[in-house]
Structure 1
Amino acid sequence: MPGLAIIGAQWGDEGKGKVVDLLAEGADAVVRFQGGNNAGHTIVHAGQTWKFHLIPAGILSPGTLCVIGNGVVLDPAVLTREIEGLRARGVDPSHLRISANAHVIMPYHLLLDSAGEIRLGKLQIGTTRRGIGPAYEDKAARLGIRVQDLLDEKILRKKIATALEPKRAALRPFDKDPAIGLQAMTEDGLTFGHRLEPFIADTSKLCWELLDDGRKVIFEGAQGAMLDLDHGTYPFVTSSNPVAGAACVGAGVAPRDINEVWGVAKAYVTRVGAGPFPTELDDELGAEIRRRGGEFGTTTGRPRRTGWLDLVALRYAARLNGLTALAITKLDVLSGFERVQVCTRYRGPDDAVFDDFPYHQSILHHATGEY
């Protein structure tokens, strides 16, 4: 350190929250830099179980500044519930800061996300239907609502009206839903803005000041490298970039500010939703690993697909992120199995062998692991 990125080195759910929680007590800040409440971290701290979807894992360390960076898309209803949940359990959230430039998930994003998945039918990606993708779409289209907009009624109303215009046809089935009326969304947005205002800040400057002073800052990734929008198993990916390089953009810091990158991987592999999975155990053994490991989504409760440790994918993640260290979690889950396998290469179409992660998706979809 001072700048340390913690990155998921698989398809998410590797135990990043636990690693961050362990390191947070010795850090000056923990920063979320991408994703939204589609990612969930379960942490056992001082004998209590905590589940976070937006707030950084370091929130349980009172001396650690916790930052939701500009690269995050946040649902203000979810965030305020998390804040109130902390207060109800005796945790002071006053060391939380939210980037004024972070984008907001609006009610219409949730509706569009669900409608999009239903429309795809058997070709569904398997999103969490939390509005993440549509919110990032609006951000790229320059139609997004930012956290700072929740503090100005005139700006908020105008931006919502502008964002709604190209969505009218897609939202027509929901015309009678009062939650997506312009007046209702403006009023609700202003209410959330008022509740979140004490936490809103120029978080890029805060991070720069800490790093410039030689303080220790942890950049907490969500999901995993194999779900990266550009480098993952597209189109079965998330809508952001969970790789280490995205920490600079999503937190507003310079590349030279990140000195170390730690990857987190389980001793086996899990995946939620659709997409290729060369080492998948779609049998009783996979079900047993799921049961032992408690492999059910923190956000959705969906059962996770399970498989053997995949070193081909792990090497790829190490290269993408420039890992300087690797934390392996859940080794104990495999205790007692007569045989534990590790995939070292793939067997693809036409009996071709791949030591490196295939760049062509048609190969990956038909690849099987060799152990």
Structure 2
Amino acid sequence: MKNIVVVGSQWGDEGKGKITDFLAQDADIVVRYQGGNNAGHTVYVDGVKYAFHLLPSGILNPKCMNVLANGMVIHPGALMTELKQLNRPYQLFISDRSHVIFPHHIEMDIENEIQDKIGTTKKGIGPAYSDKSRRKGVRMIDFIGRDRLSIIREKMELLKVSQEEKEILIKDYLAYSDFLKPMVTDTSRLLNEHIHTKKVLFEGAQGVMLCLDHGTYPFVTSSSPTAASVPLNTGLAPWLIKGAIGVTKAYTTRVGEGPFPSEISGTLAHEIRERGHEYGTTTKRPRRIGWLDLVVINYAKRVSGLSYLAVTLLDVLSGVESINVVTHYELDGKRIDDIPADFNDFKRVEPVYLTLKGWNEDITKVTSFDELPDACKAYLNTIEKLTATEVAIFSVGPERNQTILRKSVL
């Protein structure tokens, strides 16, 4: 499959950045297609940690073209900061139809979060998407255009700060506009020119369970991370997307509010959180910990069309005596195998577990499936069997060389 989407198959934070970075070594183009700097993709290369919020994970490959597509909302200051900290050559193209985040969006996000307690990152993402749907947004083409000063001034008037502070922000946003202008182009046209001859990776933010349409509404993000949203958010025909690889942790995590059927607490949850460094890349919030939920994975497969799975952080479970996986739920005494649309029903489901034997061996140095302990092999085989989806990739540590490719997907 030459053009493939890397999709989060849980509630985000699955390790999509790591998998995209790994696959990007053999890719020509990497495209971020939705979200903004509410994303947090962590990549380790030669012992160096890179934390990306807006940049595609292919940015570390100097031969790779990187695209911020029209489905994104972009904070220009955050993007400029990321690029200046990169300190290495890169190729970046920004859609002229992507939307710009302004300070008042962040101000609104903070106020909304106090009232609604959704668990957002308070980066202004939701209000920016709201402005887009209300036809009140500012697109990147306007942000770099001839009327940019009047547009920026108009947006700064929405802020509840002094005029002096507004003038400082106006100067900042003019500087952002100058810096980003050479990178802004029609990325739909760019992608269509290359889609038939290049290997293209599409990288989403968050995960399927945070999808605005198919996630645990209202505790969701403001866009769709599913593979189905790629054509609309990039300006490509749907049939040009050849498949999707669903990234899942060997367990489950969630940040923010909302139902989480397989959640665990106590000493084991703390140990997994510390061993897996389960703190938000963007917010630094501790992530909630749970067993692997195969109802969630199968749901993600259905609504996002997963071709393969990539299982990350497998090494974190070493030393856990017995490991549970959710096979189905019970609701009011009845078995269900899907995610209820009714939020209150989803809060009430009781997970039904299959318990598997754990393993004690250190697996961080294995280089193939055959080198894994038998119990670990059985765990991956169980995931494959109960999802009817092949585990094409698994990882046993943060570095690129700790990612094992079982089947070529690009």
- What TM-score, normalized by structure 1, do the two folds share? 0.91
Q: How many residues align?
A: 353
Q: 1:258 to 1:307 in 2, by over 3 A?
A: same
C-alpha contact (below 8 Å) 2:99/2:138 kept by paired residues: yes
Name the residue aligned to 1:272.
Answer: 255
Aligned counterparts of 1:16 and 1:138: Cα–Cα separation in 2:
28
Correspondence for 1:352 among 334, 339, 360: 334
Cα deviation for residue 50 of structure 1 reads 0.6
Q: Residues 177 and 284 (structure 1 numbering): CA distance in 2 closer, same or farther, change over 3 Å?
A: farther
Q: Which residue of structure 2 aligns with residue 361 of structure 1?
A: 343
CA distance, structure 2, for counterparts of residue 156 and residue 216 of structure 1? 39
Of structures 1 and 2, the one with the larger relative CO (CA 8 A, separation 6+) is 1
1:102-154, CA deviations, whole angstroms, 9 ceiling, x for partnerless residues?
Answer: 1011000011100111123xxx0010000000000000011111112222352
C-alpha contact 1:9 1:317 (8 A) present in aligned 2: yes
Contact 1:10 1:313 in 2 (8 A): yes
C-alpha separation in 2, matches of 1:305 and 1:55 = 26
Q: Which amino acid aligns with 1:68?
A: L
Confirm whether residue 136 of structure 1 aligns to residue 126 of structure 2.
no
Give the distance between the partners of 1:101 and 1:20, measured in 2 at CA: 24
Q: Which residue of 1 aligns with 2:322?
A: 339
CA distance in 2, matches of 1:189, 1:141: 23
2:68 aligned residue: 68
Q: Would you say 1:92 and 2:89 are equivalent positions?
A: yes
Rounded Cα–Cα distance in structure 2 between residues aligned with 1:291 and 1:185: 39
1:284 deviation in Å?
2.0
Whether 1:102 aligns to 2:86 is: no
| In the alignment, structure 1 residue 39 sits paired with structure 2 residue 23 | no
**Do structure 1's residue 157 and structure 2's residue 150 form an aligned pair?**
yes
Partner of 1:321: 304
Q: Deviations over 1:136-185 (max 9, x none)?
A: 00000111111122223525524763x678xx6xx5xx243744x3x555
1:199 aligns with 2:183: yes
Name 2:287's counterpart in structure 1. Answer: 304
SS at match of 1:62: coil
**TM-score (ref. length: structure 2):** 0.83
Q: What is the alpha-carbon distance in structure 2 between the residues aligned to residue 35 and residue 160 of structure 1?
A: 25
Letter in 1 for 2:26: G
How far apart are the structure 2 equivalents of 1:313 and 1:105?
Answer: 32
SS of match in other structure, 1:340:
strand
Q: Following superposition of structure 1 onto structure 2, how do residues 198-217 of structure 1 map, counting pairs within 5 Å?
A: 198-212=182-196, 214-217=197-200
The letter of the residue matching 1:194 is D
Cα 1:156–1:231 shift into 2, 3 Å? farther
CA distance in 2, matches of 1:254, 1:345: 35
Matched, 1:176 2:162: yes
Q: Give the CA deviation at 1:46.
A: 2.5
Counterpart AA for 2:216: T
Would the alpha carbon gap of residues 270 and 137 (structure 1) be closer, same or farther in structure 2, given more than 3 Å must change? same
Counterpart residue number, 2:83: 83
- Note the residue ranges of structure 1 that are not aligned, 5 or more in a row: none
Task: Give distance in 2, aligned partners of 1:231 and 1:112.
Answer: 25
Structure 1 stretches of 4+ moved >6 Å: none
CA contact (8 A) 2:100 2:143 kept: no
Cα separation, 1, equivalents of 2:314 and 2:279: 17
Residues 158 and 36 of structure 1: CA distance in aligned 2, closer, same or farther (over 3 Å)? closer
Conserved 8 A contact 1:145-1:156: no
Output the aligned Cα RMSD. Answer: 1.6
Distance 2:109 2:313 in 1: 33
